[in-house]
Chain A
Amino acid sequence: MEYIIAKYNYWMYVILMMVGFYAMIVKKNLVKKLLGLNIFQWAIIFFYISTAVKSGGATVPILHSALDTANINLYLNPLPHVLMLTAIVVGVSTTGVALALVILIYRKFQTLDEDEILDKLRELSGK
């Protein structure tokens, strides 16, 4: 039990990830799948951010201009944040492309339900 509480941030991200993963696999609607993917990505981003946290009142350096920069215990590790900025950019562009694809699919098939699309595709190839 202590083990779980001590590392609760990890458990949260695992749960979030599984929620996202479930949506990606089970949902038939393409937009819901995409949302699942986003949750999946955000879980990882939270995971990274949580690793930067330090106990004992550490904070973000820019909040206190008088912070002693030599004392690393006083501020959070900035690198995961920086990395995640990049990851967010990547995530946003992936989502952008995915949404563009969704629009394309909707224009072609007038639906976003995977089963219905597959039916329509079968009709297309049947002709």
Chain B
Amino acid sequence: MIRHQLPAIIIVAPFIMAILTNLIGLWSRSACYYAALFTAGVSLFSSIGILDTVISTGKISYRLGGWEPPWGIEYLVDHLNAYMLVIVTLIAFLSILYSYRFAEKDMPARIPQFYSLMLLLLTGLIGMTITGDAFNLYVLIEITSIACYALIAKGDDKSPLASFNYLIIGTAGACLYLIGVGYLYILTGSLNMADLTNLLPKVYHTKALLAAFFFFIVGIAIKMAFFPLHGWLPNAYNHSPDSVSAFMAGTVTKVCAYVLIRVMFTIFQPQYSLSIVPILPLLGWLSVGAMLYGCILALAQRELKNIFSYLIIAEVGYIVVGISTATKIGFTGSVLHILNDAIMMACLFFTAGAIAYKTGAKTIDDVKGIHKKMPLTTAGFTVGAVSVVGVPPTCGFFSKWYLLLGTIHSGEYHYTAGLLLSSLLCAIVLYRVLQSMYSQNNEISTKNDEAPATMLFPIYVTVFAILIIGFISGNIISTVIDKTIPIGFR
């Protein structure tokens, strides 16, 4: 019986706990951590349960409050949702586990509020992934964003300004999305995604729908930091607290990429995005721009988290380029890359955070010779970095394989060239970091001073995932990703 309620439990649990942690905090601060961790664990298990149900029985439709769609809000979980839910809840669980020492160190007085916000962010992300209602999606985007703004502002001196800029740009993006929803509502009178899929074809020729489509794309592109609308991301991620940046880096842009896929291929039928408004070539070229721009700018940075932030911009380009090939295999690569990128970025930010926690080192020069002091963390970082470059047998290689295959299959060789060039640039970027980490440094004490277990554990979960996902990617593709490919893809 509980199985049928999982789509509600997965989102209600973190939401209620987000409020409760403030009360629990009055009684005991450390209990907040365990409460948050437990809740994230509940969500993680629910998401796995949902994925399992979806794989065995197909789509789940959950009606909130028993209202019939299209009047009530419907949670419609198909393979893509379920897959995204597992990614989000997994990264959330690891991040909360990881944040234990940071919360103690950075904001001892605000632990309950911190976990409250973390859970709110999780609620928002889960909601964005699971909802089947276009307006509901807007509200959840804003819940996610507000939690992000507040969390980012807990970082270093520059963080409030970074957060404020993010707020201005991000809210504008969400507003654009809202206009898009308004247009759809005017045209069809419905807000339910599944309903819209059926209603929209009648108005495909109207200019208003075209405008709505572009409002959607631009609004979501801002939220997912898609080149050239990425401006807010590097500062926001760089200056945010270490425990938060890993969570956000692993999930926010990825979930927004999911929303993009939903809008382009569920609300609008693939036919619209492919042939009526041929937007894919534009997205493709922009993502080539993103890949190159992200990597080149990453080359110019000295701070580790800044470097990774620019790499995220490039990785968003990877995800979009696969979609824009309009091939099955490229789309597979994109969806697989959402998973891989979430895990790789979490790994990189986790290790950077662990190093900063132990030594205060933030820049390439600071981490010189760190491998003597923190060998396990450095080794974990190495695996993550190798995977970002896309060297086999790590998971980054496998998604890149599908992406490249997709670009070649569609005959878009300029995308292929962009992908390869940016891989090489990535290699240079991360080589510089690795070289510094593994070089000799007599100033740093060689005493082994490893990160605490609450950090090492999440790091090694991601490392293990990086090493293993590539080999099971065939299974992931055949059981999940194949079912998510929009109709009309070659």
From A37, A79, A108, B168 is in contact (CB under 8 Å) with A37
Name the contact of B175 in the complex, choosing from A40, A79, A101 (C-beta under 8 A): A40
One of B146-154, B256-264, B420-428, B451-459 contacting the partner: B146-154
Q: Is the CB of A101 within 8 A of B142?
A: no
Task: Check if B149 sits within 8 Å of A101, measured CB to CB.
Answer: yes
B172 in contact with A37 (CB, 8 Å): yes
Residues of chain B within 8 A (CB-CB) of A102 are: 164
Complex Cα distance A94/B148, Å?
11
Q: B160 touching A90 by the CB < 8 A rule?
A: no
Across the interface, which residues of B come within 8 angstroms of A48, CB to CB?
182
Contact of A80 with B157 at beta-carbon distance under 8 Å, contacts A87-B178, A101-B149, A101-B164 already known = no
Known: A98-B167, A108-B157; 7 extra A-B contacts, CB below 8 A, are: A37-B167, A44-B179, A97-B146, A101-B153, A101-B167, A121-B158, A124-B157
A51: CB under 8 A from chain B?
Answer: yes
Residues of chain A at the chain B interface (Cβ within 8 Å): 21, 24, 30, 33-34, 37, 40-41, 44, 47-48, 51, 79-80, 83, 86-87, 90, 93-94, 97-98, 100-102, 104-105, 108, 117, 121, 124
Q: How far is the CA of A76 from the CA of B185 in the complex (A)?
A: 15
Q: Is B161 an interface residue (CB 8 A)?
A: yes
**Is B213 among interface residues, defined by CB-CB distance under 8 A?**
no
CA of A34 to CA of B139 in the docked complex: distance in angstroms? 20
The reply to whether A98 and B164 form a contact with Cβ atoms under 8 Å apart is yes
For residue B325, CB closer than 8 A to chain A, the reply is: no
- Does the CB pair A40–B172 fall under 8 Å? yes
If over half of B's interface residues share one DSSP class (helix, strand or loop), that class is named, otherwise mixed; here it is helix
Q: How far is the CA of A44 from the CA of B138 in the complex (A)?
A: 13
Closest-by-CB residue of B relative to A118 is B161
Chain B residues, CB < 8 A from A80 = 185
| Chain B residues closer than 8 Å to A34, beta-carbon distance | 168
In the assembled complex, the Cα of A30 lies from the Cα of B167 at a distance in Å of: 11
Instruction: List the 5 shortest-distance A-B pairs measured between CB atoms, nearest first.
Output: A104-B160, A90-B142, A101-B164, A105-B160, A101-B160
B161 touches A117 (CB 8 A): yes
Size category of the B interface is 20 to 34
Task: Specify which chain A residues have a CB less than 8 angstroms from the CB of B158 in the assembled complex.
Answer: 121
Q: How far is the CB of A18 from chain B (nearest CB, A)?
A: 12
Q: Could you jot down 29 A-B contacts, CB within 8 Å? A: A24-B172, A33-B168, A34-B168, A37-B168, A41-B171, A44-B179, A47-B179, A48-B182, A51-B185, A51-B186, A79-B185, A80-B185, A86-B139, A87-B139, A87-B178, A93-B146, A94-B142, A97-B146, A98-B164, A98-B168, A100-B150, A101-B153, A101-B160, A101-B163, A101-B167, A102-B164, A108-B157, A108-B160, A121-B158
- With a CB–CB cut-off of 8 A, which chain A residues contact B153? 100-101, 104
Q: Which of B135, B150, B160, B182 contacts A44 (CB 8 A)?
A: B182
Closest to A89 in B: B139
What chain B residues lie within 8 Å of A104 (beta carbons)? 153, 160
How many whole Å from B211's CB to the nearest CB in chain A? 11
B-side contacts of A86, CB under 8 Å: 135, 139
Residues of A near B142 (CB, < 8 A) are: 90, 93-94
Question: In the bound complex, what is the Cα–Cα distance between A121 and B172 (angstroms)?
Answer: 26
Provided the pairs A51-B186, A80-B185, A121-B158 are in contact, do residues A105 and B164 lie with their beta carbons within 8 angstroms?
Answer: yes
Note all chain A residues with C-beta closer than 8 A to B185: 51, 79-80
CB contacts (< 8 Å) of B171 on chain A: these are: 37, 40-41, 94
Question: Using Cβ atoms and an 8 Å threshold, which residues of chain A touch B135?
Answer: 83, 86
Interface core residue of A87, A101, A121 (most chain B CB under 10 Å): A101
* A47 surroundings in chain B (CB, below 8 A): 179, 182
Task: Give bound CA distance, A83 to B142, whole Å.
Answer: 14
Q: Which of A87, A102, A124 has the most CB of B within 10 A?
A: A87
The complex places the Cα of A33 from the Cα of B169 at a distance, in Å, of: 11
A121 contact set on B, CB distance < 8 A: 157-158, 161
Task: Looking at the assembled complex, report how far the CB atom of A96 sits from the nearest CB atom of chain B, in whole angstroms.
Answer: 9
Q: How far is the CB of A72 from chain B (nearest CB, A)?
A: 12
The reply to whether A94 and B167 form a contact with Cβ atoms under 8 Å apart is: yes
Closest to B142 in A: A90
CA distance A120 to B164 in the complex (A): 17
Most buried by A among B139, B143, B168: B168
Asked whether A105 lies within 8 Å of B161 as measured between CB atoms, the reply is yes
Q: Could you tell me the distance in whole angstroms from the C-beta of B436 to the nearest C-beta in chain A?
A: 20
B179 CB contacts on chain A under 8 angstroms: 44, 47
Chain B residues with CB under 8 Å of A101's CB are 149, 153, 160, 163-164, 167
A45 closest partner in B (C-beta): B178
CA distance A47 to B146 in the complex (A): 23
Given contacts A101-B149, A108-B160, contact A44 B175 (CB under 8 A): yes
Question: Which residues of the other chain, B, contact A79 by a CB distance below 8 angstroms?
Answer: 185
